[in-house]
Amino acid sequence: MQISFIHLEKAIGFHFRNKELLAQALTHRSAVRESRRSGHNERLEFLGDAVLELAATEYLYHLSEKPEGELTNWRSALVQRENLAAVAQDIRLGQYLSISRGEEASGGRDRPSTLSNALEALIGAIYLDKGFEDAKEFCMQYILKRLDKLLAAGKDRDQKSVFQEKAQEHYGITPHYETVDAVGPDHQKNFTCAVFIGEEKIAEGKGNSKQRAEQNAAKAGLKEKGWGNA
């Protein structure tokens, strides 16, 4: 396994001082009982997700004078599962993963969710081993540089627009949204909105404005319906 780590480190251009961090980043939950690793990669994934979001936000802030809403859409395109899985495939991250025999047999090594989670865990491991600047450099080199390609493919479209297109394609119906709850003082309300296709409630989303809650409901709806990797 150490040889595999050496090949991966050489491929991505980052060499770990603490090899156990890299090993943990590459250990799927399913493999913990079958390996000698002390833990799986979900905590590192949690950390890497935050590091990536900060790196993407800083990059976009300096890149463009576009308004907040448009930059948010650009960031969403960069950090969405589909893009992260594609990056993981490019660096052949799947072949380095420790997964259970059952997970392997079911195609887990190539599953987009597994790959994107492992990539975020790898970012978290780089952050702990080398600091934010190196983690940001990794994000820039492998993820953020894909922005132009994603924009050209329309991946920055807001979730409500995508959900509406999919609903019309599959059902011939335009979805609608309802506010389910609103809590807090007028200047700091938090909203819960639900998206419906006809009479069927598909999903809910929360946000500090109705617009954001509806966007999150649409995102959850895309996931619920299996319409892409939003």
Q: Quickly count helices (H) and strands (E) in the chain.
A: 11, 3
181 is catalytic: no
The residue from 9, 42, 58, 120 that is catalytic is 120
Q: How far apart are CA 98 and CA 24, in angstroms?
A: 9
Half-sphere exposure of 14 (CA within 13 A, CB side): 25
CA-to-CA dists, residue 96 to 7, 83, 113, 150, angstroms: 10, 19, 16, 27
The residue from 49, 103, 156, 214 that is catalytic is 49
Question: Token digits for 126?
Answer: 């780089």
120 is catalytic: yes
Q: Beta-carbon neighbour count of residue 33 at 10 Å?
A: 8
- Under 8 Å between Cβ of 156 and 60: no
Q: How far apart are CA 72 and CA 106, in angstroms?
A: 35
Q: How far apart are CA 41 and CA 117, in angstroms?
A: 8
Residue 175 three-state SS = coil
- How many Å separate Cα 149 from the centre of its chain? 17
Rg (CA), the chain: 19
Q: Which residues are catalytic?
A: 49, 120
